A = this chain, B = another copy of it.
Amino acid sequence: MAKTVNKVILLGNVGKDPEIRATAGGSFVASFSLATTDRSKDQSGNWTDRTEWHNLVAFQRTAEIIRDYVKKGSKLYVEGKIQTRSWDDKTTGEKKYRTEIIVNDIALLSGRGEGGEGGGYSSGSSYGGSSNYNRGGASSYDQRGPGGADDLVSSTEITDDDIPF
């Protein structure tokens, strides 16, 4: 039973390709930004748009789905909670804050091919970074057994059945 509630619902577009890190324990963390746009009237009575950028962080299975299917421009529905981390800046000694949305669940609203100028869902390219992972890799969410991700890359035609959710 909840004693308090801290709930966020966002629907917007991803600003850049997500950054994926692996933890020592082999789990994944995805970080990315999401833009929402508010239309409101200014003092002069004119409608103006204000874009809000949210810092999102996702873990584990959700991070893997993001790694594999979310890229710059993707339209996403997100449920999560607000969390603010604070630390003391090493140089200035100042208290610093960063507010992030801890993602609980997402719904992908961009079809394949939509949502970004980059490659498709399985680009096969690799950054080569040590703890930087790339979409298109095998996901623990993919439970099709041997063949898994390779099939995803090599199949001549990708059907809906190839998408593991």
Question: How many copies altogether?
Answer: 4
Let me know if A37 is at the binding interface, CB within 8 A.
yes
Let me know if A149 is at the binding interface, CB within 8 A.
no
**Contact between chains at B165 and A1 (CB < 8 Å):** yes
Give every chain B residue within 8 A of A3 (Cβ-Cβ). 37, 107, 165
Chain A, residues 84-125, CB within 8 Å of chain B (1/0): the string is 100000001010011101000111110100100000000000
Cα distance A3–B109 when bound, in Å? 8
Give every chain B residue within 8 A of A84 (Cβ-Cβ). 52-53, 99
Cα distance A53–B1 when bound, in Å? 20
Chain A, residues 1-20, CB within 8 Å of chain B (1/0): the string is 11111111111110000000
**Contact between chains at A5 and B108 (CB < 8 Å):** no
Let me know if A72 is at the binding interface, CB within 8 A.
no
**Contact between chains at B6 and A36 (CB < 8 Å):** yes
Given contacts A11-B107, A81-B38, A109-B75, contact A6 B114 (CB under 8 A): no
Give every chain B residue within 8 A of A106 (Cβ-Cβ). 1-2
Query: Which residues of A approach B to under 8 Å, CB–CB?
Result: 1-13, 35-38, 52-54, 62, 65, 75, 77, 79, 81-84, 92, 94, 97-99, 101, 105-109, 111, 114, 165
Q: Other than A2-B105, A5-B36, give 10 A-B pairs with Cβ distance below 8 A.
A: A1-B107, A1-B165, A2-B79, A8-B82, A9-B9, A11-B77, A52-B81, A52-B83, A52-B84, A94-B94
